[in-house]
Amino acid sequence: MGYPAEGNSLEDKVTSTVHTIIEIAVELGSSLAVLEKNTREIFWWTSWAIAIVLGLFVLHLLVKVRAQLVKLNSYQELFERMWLEDKENDENIQNERREREIQEARRATAPREAMEASASAQAQSQFDYLNDMLDEIGSIPEQGTEEYEELLEELKEECKQYGEGSLLPAVKM
C-alpha cells in the first residue's frame, strides 16, 4: 500500500488515494472473507460439539430412564408377589374361620344330638321295660291286694336303679 506522493499533481494524488482506498477495501473484503470462513468453521465445529454434547446428555437421560424402569419393574414384581401372598393369606384366614365355625357348630350340636340320642335310647329302654313288665303281669292287680303291694315294691326298686329324672312314672315311697 502506497501513500500518495507529495508534490505530484492533483490527479496523481487522487489516483493514489483511490488506489489506496481500493487496496484497503480489497484487504477489508479479504479479511471479511477470512473472518466469514473462520466464523463458518467455528460455527460448524461448535454445532458438532453441541450436537455431541446434546447426544451424550440424551444418552445419559436414556440410561437413567432405563435404570428407573428396571427398578420400577422389580418393584412391580415384588408388589405382585406380596399381593398374591396377601390374597393367599386372606383365603387361608377365611378357610380357618369357616373351619372354626363348622367345628363350633358341630360342638354345639354334638351334645344336643348326644342328649337326644341318649334320651331316645333311655326312653326306648324304659318303654321296652314297661312292655316287658306288663307282659309279665298281664294285668295290674287290684289295689290293696298282696300282689299289688309286691308289684309296687318291685317298681320302687326299679325306679331306684334308674334314678331321678327317669321317664318312669313316679311311685310314692
- 118-157 pLDDT, tens digit each: 767 777 777 777 777 766 666 666 777 888 788 788 878 8
Task: Give the structural domain span for 65.
Answer: 10-138
172 found inside a domain: no
Q: What is the pLDDT of residue 113?
A: 67
Question: Is residue 90 scored above 80 in pLDDT?
Answer: yes
Q: What is the pLDDT of residue 125?
A: 77
Report d(CA 2, CA 27) in Å as an integer: 14
More confident residue, 47 or 139: 47
Number of domains in the chain: 1
118 found inside a domain: yes
Output the CA–CA distances (angstroms, integers) from residue 76 to 61, 79, 81, 82, in the order listed. 22, 5, 9, 10
Question: pLDDT confidence of 170, banded at 50, 70, 90?
Answer: very low
